[in-house]
């Protein structure tokens, strides 16, 4: 079994737990309100804006023996630059205040996930950051395009309100193949263990954003 396949197998329980969160299932069925979608975008902005700084921090901390992985991190940085602006564009297309969203504070769950990502890089093995990559990109491929198409129909929002979801659903399909090749080059057991451990944690932390989305934002009933 390749390491990527082992990583997926070792984190399957946490992944299934994330995908079964009621709010996610409601979104896939088109049964959430516009305010729920805006709340999701707002939290997405608050973690997506850290993607490039996190990648930079990870690349800086990688040891010389993983120079090939540092090169790959540079490619990720080029791909991810400016994506937080896409999220703000979607928020504006929903009729909300772009600047207010950018100035808002992240929820506790979002703040904790971002903090753990920095902590993983600085205190632990920086390779563990790729556990976060697995969770965010894998979830995008599994859900983003499907959710965007369903929500556009149910919420009656313009197509440009779903740029972040649609772009990441398509873009991350390419990223998953790239990610798989990178993970299969990891031959150090310590590096592999760090990625598995972090992925398990990030599935829980990312899930907590959805579990608390309404409690930390505007409370709304599901759309009928």
Q: Per-residue confidence at 171, pLDDT binned at 50, 70, 90?
A: low
Residue 33: φ, ψ to 5°: -85, 165
pLDDT for the residue numbered 173: 59
Of residues 140 and 16, which shows the higher confidence score? Answer: 16
Query: pTM of the predicted model, to two decimals?
Result: 0.92
Q: Report the pLDDT value the prediction gives residue 145, as an integer from 0 to 100.
A: 80
Most confident of 19-23, 27-31, 213-217: 19-23
Averaged pLDDT, 158-162: 93
Given a cut of 80, whether residue 24 has pLDDT beyond it is: yes
For the chain, give the mean pLDDT.
91
More confident residue, 168 or 40: 40
Query: Largest alpha-carbon pair distance within the chain?
Result: 55
pLDDT at 221 over 50: no
Predicted confidence at residue 87, as pLDDT, reads 96
220 pLDDT band (50/70/90 cuts)? very low
Domains of the chain: 3-216 (1.20.910.10)
Q: What pLDDT digit, counting tens, does each position of 111-159 carry?
A: 999 999 999 999 989 999 999 999 998 887 768 888 888 998 899 899 9
Residue 221 per-residue DSSP state: P
Of 34, 24, 23, 20, which Cα lies nearest the Cα of 223? Answer: 34
Mean pLDDT confidence for 73-99? 94
């Amino acid at each position: 079994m390749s390491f990527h396949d082992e990583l997926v197998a070792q984190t399957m329980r946490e992944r299934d737990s994330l995908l079964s969160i009621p709010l996610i299932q409601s979104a896939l069925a088109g049964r959430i309100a516009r305010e729920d979608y805006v709340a999701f975008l707002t939290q997405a902005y608050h973690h997506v804006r850290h993607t490039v700084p996190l990648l930079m921090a990870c690349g800086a901390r990688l040891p010389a023996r993983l120079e090939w992985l540092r090169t790959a991190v540079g490619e990720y940085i080029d791909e991810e630059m400016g994506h937080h602006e896409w999220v703000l564009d979607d928020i504006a297309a929903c009729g909300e205040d772009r600047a207010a969203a950018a100035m808002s504070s992240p929820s506790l769950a979002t703040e904790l996930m971002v903090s753990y990502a920095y902590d993983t890089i600085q205190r632990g093995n920086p390779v563990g950051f790729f556990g976060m990559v697995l969770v965010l990109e894998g979830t995008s491929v599994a859900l983003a395009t499907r959710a965007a198409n369903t929500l556009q129909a149910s919420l009656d929002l313009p197509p440009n309100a779903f740029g972040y979801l649609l772009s990441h659903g398509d873009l991350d399909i390419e990223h998953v193949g790239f990610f798989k090749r990178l993970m299969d080059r990891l031959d150090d057991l310590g590096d592999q263990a760090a990625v598995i451990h972090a992925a398990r944690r990030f599935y829980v932390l990312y899930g907590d954003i959805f579990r608390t989305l309404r409690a930390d934002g505007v409370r709304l009933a599901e759309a009928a």
